[in-house]
Amino acid sequence: MNILREFKRGIIQENAVFVLLLGMCPTLGVTTSAFNGLGMGIATTAVLICSNLVISMLKSVIPQKVRIPVFIVVIASFVTMVELLMEAYLPDLFKALGIFIPLIVVNCIILGRAEVFASKRGVLPSMLDGLVMGTGFTIALFVLGSVREILGNGAIFNQKFVAEDASTIIFFILPPGAFVALGYLVAIFNRMKRERSETDN
């Protein structure tokens, strides 16, 4: 198994946000700043790795007809654990992400990876899959959060680089701006991917 190729798959070919367009609720909701995007991405990655691990271990004892309820119970437990740990040890990030942490449960990437990957493969490949898909998700959220923070607040990682009272494009911080920014990023991403595949041929 080529680890580098796996990462390329998770980050570029099957990027959860830019290619599969999965998990749009946290993607659009929390990416008001680079820090929030990064935090959400890492939290999701942690849940993804843990749930992939447990589900790949349990795959031979889960009856086919109740697999989805079992997946959801496992995922929801890990999300709640991440939520409690974050509230205890990273209170600032917890405050910033708020309602979106419980919503990791309904992030389709996690259930999707459990269904198409972890329930059919071994433990190590499943954990690696969680890591690479989570990394792709994190990078996408970080890029989207950075773009929105730079345009909307004139800042990056809360460090303002424009005057305090300068007017910025607030639109990009608000929900509609998330859709527009994501649309442009998907377009740029597709363009880059196409150019790559053309040079490869």
Partner 1 sequence: MVEEKKGPISSNFFTMVFVLTIVAVLSALALGLTYVTTKDRIRLNSQLETQRAIRKVLPSNYDNDPTRDRYTVSDEEGEALSCFPARRDGKLVGTAIKTYSDEGFNERIELMVGFDPDQRIIDIYVCEQSETPGLGNKIGQASFIEQFRNISLQQVPGFELVVGREIDGITAATISSRAFCDAVNRAYRVLSRGRKR
In the bound complex, what is the minimum distance in angstroms from residue 1's beta carbon to partner 1? 23
Distance of CA 97 to the CA centre of its chain: 13
Which sign does the torsion angle of CA 164, 170, 173, 178 carry?
Answer: negative
In the bound complex, what is the minimum distance in angstroms from residue 106's beta carbon to partner 1? 17
> CA-based angle 118:138:89, to the nearest 5?
95
Pick from 6, 93, 5: nearest CA to 41:
93
The smaller minimum CB distance to partner 1, of residues 21 and 174, is found at 174
The smaller minimum CB distance to partner 1, of residues 32 and 45, is found at 32
The smaller minimum CB distance to partner 1, of residues 12 and 62, is found at 62
The smaller minimum CB distance to partner 1, of residues 75 and 132, is found at 75
Q: Which residues bind partner 1 (CB under 8 A)?
A: 32, 58-67, 69-70, 73-74, 76-77, 80-81, 84-85, 87-89, 91, 98, 152-153, 164-165, 168, 170, 173-174
In the bound complex, what is the minimum distance in angstroms from residue 173's beta carbon to partner 1? 4
Pick from 129, 96, 103: nearest CA to 23:
103
The smaller minimum CB distance to partner 1, of residues 14 and 115, is found at 115
Is residue 58 helix, strand or coil? helix
In the bound complex, what is the minimum distance in angstroms from residue 20's beta carbon to partner 1? 24
The smaller minimum CB distance to partner 1, of residues 85 and 187, is found at 85
In the bound complex, what is the minimum distance in angstroms from residue 37's beta carbon to partner 1? 14
Burial class of residue 36, CB neighbours in 10 A (0-12, 13-18, 19+)? buried
Q: Beta strand 159-160 with 155-156: parallel, antiparallel or unpaired?
A: antiparallel
> CA-based angle 98:102:105, to the nearest 5?
150
In the bound complex, what is the minimum distance in angstroms from residue 129's beta carbon to partner 1? 20
Q: Which helix (H) or strand (E) holds 28?
A: helix 24-30
Which tokens sit at 36? 């929030």
Is residue 156 helix, strand or coil? strand
